[in-house]
Amino acid sequence: MSPLASPLVTDAGLQAFGRDVWWVVGLKVLLIFVVLVLLTLFNIWFERRVVARMQHRIGPNVHGPFGLLQSLADGAKLMFKEDIIPKAADKVVFILAPIIAVIPAFVTFSVIPFGPEVNFFGQVTPLQLTDMPVAVLFVMAIASIGIYGIVLGGWSSGSTYSLLGGLRSSAQMISYEVAMGLALVAVFLYAGSMSTSEIVAAQEDLWFGLILVPSFVIYVIAMVGETNRAPFDLPEAEGELVGGFHTEYSSIKFALFFLAEYVNMATVSALATTLFLGGWRAPFWIDELYAGFNSGYWPVLWFFGKVLVFIFFFIWLRGTLPRLRYDQFMSFGWKVLIPVSLVWIIAVATLRVARTEGWFEGTNLLIVLGVALVVVLGLFFIGGKESAEETDGEVRAGSGGFPTPPMPVGGAVRGSAAPLTFDDPSRVTVAGEEA
């Protein structure tokens, strides 16, 4: 099916679900849980090794071959550490918050397709737990529940730092989940469905990540903000909030927050793979060599290969970029991502109507798509210019901010600070000289 076609939303692709016997469903649930736990252990090791290589260090290399058991050792250590609950904490909510954070992270994988129908211990079943006509909305709804764990964990700790981290997280989720949802609208328009399995089927000829580049870029940026990863890890922000929302947590409860973050990384990576990179389908230049690459259990390999590419992207950002200021982060979400998403949706919807009504032939349509892409990318990189006061890195006296004195002149000793006097708030005196 061509991605430029406009397929009708039907339930034909959903008839394969809901017919499995009970033990197949139970085995699928168990396998998803085990795969996510093992993937989390691998991702922690992978992150430490990659960042170590970027910083010319060795990283974990003692426990197990290549240090692969280091994550398991760290998890066992957290299990047996002393569990401390602050006196000022709301104990019930304090205990429930990590559980609320980690359960939705696992539930969202229930609608992610790992492959086509296969012979599963004598039963023909799709490599997917379940699917529904609004599967993508289900993922976003469940992911939104997980944020309550972070907010409640910060509120129930009885700590100002934790509370600020929880509040930051709620504002961050609202901002970047809006942009993430808008980025997916173009995918729904092209696929004609919100079912994950049908979206994968719609990318048989060409991946949506190649023809919906602005949506793909916006989603990738939003998924980093949604998972609280650097450079958008403002709810944790060790520099100003000690540890953010989990400052007061220890032992297994801290491990659950840690697990939820890494499973969420896998979830948004799997969703990006499903919606933009063809899901479990082999790259279109490989499946031409051997058609069997898209059948059997081969697609599981392609799926996890694409997911690991996104995981490496997360790690790359953490080892490269510094943390943003919170006002910069929120301004970027509301003033750049969301307006660009809205403009792109209007452009895509207009082109879809033009295609359906036959306003353009194939060649002309490609030209219009190219022009629209250039316009959207141009709007994407145009941001509001900072004021002269902000770009100078200082706030001048009398401008409503705190006065910034000039550098000491004359015979000032290097490394010494000149005394400041503030007799008149509108004038600054440095070492007896009027600035």
Residues 115 and 118: their CA atoms lie apart, in Å, by 8
Residue scoring higher pLDDT (234 or 28): 28
Please report which confidence band the pLDDT of residue 410 belongs to, taking 50, 70 and 90 as the band edges: low
Residue 422 belongs to a domain: no
pLDDT tens track for 152-162: 998 999 888 88
Q: Judge whether residue 248 has pLDDT over 70.
A: yes
| Three-state SS at 103 | helix
Q: Judge whether residue 416 has pLDDT over 80.
A: no
The pair of structure tokens assigned to 155 is 């509120």
Residues 6 or more apart whose Cβ sits within 8 Å of residue 338: 178, 179, 182
Residues 94 and 227: their CA atoms lie apart, in Å, by 21
| Three-state SS at 429 | strand
The per-residue pLDDT for 368 is 66
Residue 403 belongs to a domain: no
DSSP category for residue 358: T
Can you tell me the mean pLDDT for 405-428? Answer: 52
Residue 341 belongs to a domain: yes
Residue 243 belongs to a domain: yes
The pair of structure tokens assigned to 409 is 């002149």
Residues 344 and 71: their CA atoms lie apart, in Å, by 42
Please report which confidence band the pLDDT of residue 364 belongs to, taking 50, 70 and 90 as the band edges: low
Most confident of 204-208, 230-234, 303-307: 303-307
Residue 12 belongs to a domain: no
Q: Are 78 and 254 in contact (CB under 8 A)?
A: yes
Angle at CA 339, nearest 5°, toward 333 and 342?
A: 125
The pair of structure tokens assigned to 287 is 């499946």
What backbone phi and psi angles, to 5 degrees, belong to 218?
A: -65, -40
Q: Are 239 and 323 in contact (CB under 8 A)?
A: yes
Which of 226, 111, 230, 236 is CA-nearest to residue 180? Answer: 226
Q: Are 277 and 207 in contact (CB under 8 A)?
A: yes
The per-residue pLDDT for 7 is 38
Can you tell me the mean pLDDT for 196-212? Answer: 91
Which residues on adjacent β-strands are paired with residue 126? Answer: 117
Can you tell me the mean pLDDT for 373-394? Answer: 59
Q: In the chain, what percentage of residues exceed pLDDT 70?
A: 82
Residues 118 and 78: their CA atoms lie apart, in Å, by 39
pLDDT tens track for 91-112: 999 999 999 999 999 999 999 9
Q: Are 228 and 172 in contact (CB under 8 A)?
A: yes
The per-residue pLDDT for 404 is 61
Please report which confidence band the pLDDT of residue 405 belongs to, taking 50, 70 and 90 as the band edges: low
Mean pLDDT of the chain: 82
Residues 282 and 271: their CA atoms lie apart, in Å, by 16
Can you tell me the mean pLDDT for 108-126? Answer: 90
| Total domains in the fold of the chain | 1
| Three-state SS at 83 | coil
Find the domain containing 158 and state its range: 17-361
The per-residue pLDDT for 398 is 45
Residues 6 or more apart whose Cβ sits within 8 Å of residue 361: none
Residue 31 belongs to a domain: yes
The per-residue pLDDT for 32 is 94
The per-residue pLDDT for 396 is 47
Residues 6 or more apart whose Cβ sits within 8 Å of residue 75: 41, 255
Q: Judge whether residue 414 has pLDDT over 70.
A: no
What are the Cα distances from residue 367, in Å, to 164, 190, 361?
49, 18, 10
Residue 293 belongs to a domain: yes
Residue scoring higher pLDDT (201 or 19): 201
The per-residue pLDDT for 10 is 38
Residues 194 and 433: their CA atoms lie apart, in Å, by 69
The pair of structure tokens assigned to 264 is 């969420």
Q: Judge whether residue 386 has pLDDT over 50.
A: no
> Angle, nearest 10°, between helix axes 298-320 and 22-54?
40
Can you tell me the mean pLDDT for 325-353? Answer: 89
Residue scoring higher pLDDT (427 or 310): 310
Which of 5, 4, 10, 28 is CA-nearest to residue 198? Answer: 10
Residue 399 belongs to a domain: no
The per-residue pLDDT for 197 is 92
pLDDT tens track for 51-87: 999 989 998 989 889 999 999 999 999 988 888 888 8
